Amino acid sequence: MGKGLYFKLAKENLRRNRRMYFPYAVAVAVMSGVFFIILNTVLCESISNMSFGNTMRVMLLFGLVVMALFTYGYMLYLNSFLIKNRRREFGLYGILGLEKRHVGRIILLENTMLNLGSLALGLLCGTVFGKLAFMVLLALTNVAPDSRFELSLPAYLITVLGFGAIFLTATIYNQFQVRLANPIDLINGEKKGEKKLRGVPLMTVVGLICLGGAYYFAIATKDKAIAIGMFWPAVILVIIATNLLFLAGSQFVLRAIRRTPRLYYRPNTFISVSGLMHRLKQNAAGLSNICILSTMVLVTISGVCALYFGQEEMIKGFFRNDLEIAVYYDAGEVQSRQLDDTLNELRLMASERGYAIDSLYAYHSKQETALLSDGQLAFKDQNGNYNLTDSEASIQTVSVLIMPLEDYSCISGQNRVLQKDELLVIAEPSVQESKTVQAGGKSFQVQEWIREFPLLQPKEETIKQVFLVAGDMEKCRELGQAVNPSSGDSNWAVEFCMNFTGGDYVERAEFSRNVADHLGKRMAEQLSVTLVHSSGIDEYRAESYGVYGGLLFLGIFFSLLFITNTVLIMYFKQVSEGYEDRARYEIMRKVGMSNQEVRNTINRQVLIVFFLPLAGALMHILAATNMITQILNAFVMTNNALTLACIAVTSAVYILIYLLVFRITARTYYKIVR
């Protein structure tokens, strides 16, 4: 046989089977395109220049490996599905006198053309949309879009090699399929009786128990630690339950209907029930996998979205002030005039950058710790031990900050006068009020308990803060002595707090570092500085946007991949079943069903097979809502309304996509069946 003939046959086969091969090509293009885009992003120079570059790279790389494994599995599955659909055709070739090696060559040619074409398409799309994806990534991480997008040659090479390996495996598999089969088997392959499924009631009961157990864990869990612990067991139970119920549960219900003549012998149910029994038995595994994958997509995307959109709130929960710098010293003293000068310098630095300062404080403080036992403060004694009256009570460590009245007045804007041995106590409501504070054998009169103060740590902080305000620095030292007799005069610091607006977080983080450097140098003029500790919201923000923006980016691409594959499996199943069903509907028409009746029957069957996995996934996610919220709470994402909104929007979008695919699939199915 001439080479031209092989080529012609292969081309003709692709054209004739385009209903199957076109979606396959699209899927390969999507998968290779997505793979290329992410790989290119990882290899892109400009990513590593970003502040969170390395975190993001590692995360994307991990996602890429997972994606590669999924892609490999999916492609082989789709390929085996396609080749099995053509068994009859190969059988026919054999009968027409083509040798197996000839058929093998035709298949090889087909696969080469198909895969090369779709891979080229994928790389083209990857190149075109790569820049778009890069911009999306920049937008998600809130970086000013001045980073340059570059195409990397290694990314092309790795994508081609990776997909080449997949195609090679698929081609070898296809060759085996052709070699191993004999023509009679190939021709008759499709018409075989099916076995009755055994143990349906038992499997149904086990499935229901698993599902009930998983749902109970998911709904009843009220504690975030337990929610995290129970997550994977619940997932495994749900997977088992979904598989069992799709296989056996469906048969159980259908058999029950069949045993009830009143229900069964009605025109609508009669044909649907037997059709579904056959369909669901064949497709139980596929449908339950689609259900589980859909659930995973929904859970992942809504979780990642909630984290991404909730992160600003989370970050603000961690930091009461945009920038806090503590300059620790062990000797020396700063006059308030000098402190004022320093603050003015900071104002100047900010205005040079065009930032507006919302608030700026500086204060002296001595940091100590105390215990909070039943709302009562307990301090250390001479030996550094706490003296507790009631050992049974709940105990919590709190941070105690001692500050002079002068600084308090500056920050709060109130003018107060404290008598000798009089204090102001600033604390959260969980610290109970008392007339006096007992420390180091001394009793201090509390002039007033203050509950609102700009410097009180936000509620997310696990260690509570208590401020003790004494008349002046001298009094403060005495108080410090009383609070921790063994510490001497250490742990003193000058603290600066700053809130400002303007700029993006990368510039702000840089500004924060400059401020810390400046303050360290400036304070060293008067003090012997031991440590400058800076904690800025923007440095944290860079990390957070890098992680959550990257997660969202990965999540979007993963869902794209999952959805493409899910859709494709559904489409292939429907189309190949369409060919099988055509004969059945032809018979029904001959026996006296009108076209309308046949169409209604088809509609119902397609609808049920198509939407059963979606219904299952939505049910799962509804049950999982509480658990997702709890787990996100454990990640300090406490805005439950946002989480619920994310779940709802994600589900709605997913349903829309699903509906769209259903319309396309149903139309193709009708065309085949008619």
Partner 1 sequence: MELLEVRHLKKVYNTRLGGRQCVALQDVSFTVSQGEFVAIMGASGSGKTTLLNLLASLDKPTEGEILLAGRNFREIRDKELSIFRRNNLGFVFQDFNLLDTFTLRDNILLPLVLSNTPPEEMMLRVRPLAQSLGIEELLDKFPYEVSGGEKQRAAVARAVIINPKIILADEPTGALDSKASAGLLDKFSALNAQGRTILMVTHSANAASYASRVIFIRDGRLYNQIYRGGLERREFFDRIVSTLTVLTEGGADIG
Task: Give residues in contact with partner 1 (CB under 8 A).
Answer: 191-193, 261-262, 264-267, 270, 274-275, 277-278, 584, 586-597
Mind giving me the DSSP string for 134-165? HHHHHHHTT--TTSPP---HHHHHHHHHHHHH
Burial of 526 (0-12, 13-18, 19+ CB in 10 A): middle
Closest approach of partner 1 to the CB of residue 226, in Å: 47
* CB-nearer residue toward partner 1: 270 or 453: 270
Closest approach of partner 1 to the CB of residue 289, in Å: 24
3-state secondary structure of 357: strand
Closest approach of partner 1 to the CB of residue 261, in Å: 4
Closest approach of partner 1 to the CB of residue 596, in Å: 8
3-state secondary structure of 621: helix
Closest approach of partner 1 to the CB of residue 161, in Å: 46
DSSP annotation of 245: I
* CB-nearer residue toward partner 1: 163 or 669: 669
Q: Can you read off the two tokens belonging to residue 646?
A: 């994310």
| CB half-sphere exposure, 245, CA atoms < 13 A | 19
* CB-nearer residue toward partner 1: 336 or 595: 595
Closest approach of partner 1 to the CB of residue 277, in Å: 7
Mind giving me the DSSP string for 301-324? HHHHHHHHHHHHHHHHHH-SSSEE
Closest approach of partner 1 to the CB of residue 582, in Å: 13
* CB-nearer residue toward partner 1: 100 or 258: 258
Closest approach of partner 1 to the CB of residue 190, in Å: 11
- Cα(355)–Cα(326) distance, rounded to whole angstroms? 22
CA-angle at 572, arms to 568 and 578, nearest 5°: 145
Residue with tokens 């939407």: 611
Closest approach of partner 1 to the CB of residue 585, in Å: 10
* CB-nearer residue toward partner 1: 491 or 605: 605
* CB-nearer residue toward partner 1: 191 or 222: 191
- Cα(626)–Cα(355) distance, rounded to whole angstroms? 42
- Count, residues in the chain: 674
- Cα(396)–Cα(399) distance, rounded to whole angstroms? 10
* CB-nearer residue toward partner 1: 266 or 533: 266
* C-alpha 175: how far from chain center: 40
- The total of other beta-carbon atoms located within 10 Å of residue 607's CB is 13
Q: Find the helix or strand (DSSP H, E) in which 219 lies.
A: helix 200-220
Q: Find the helix or strand (DSSP H, E) in which 366 lies.
A: strand 356-373
- Cα(332)–Cα(463) distance, rounded to whole angstroms? 29
* CB-nearer residue toward partner 1: 8 or 266: 266
Q: Which of 449, 488, 484 is nearest to 468 (CA)?
A: 449
* CB-nearer residue toward partner 1: 15 or 191: 191
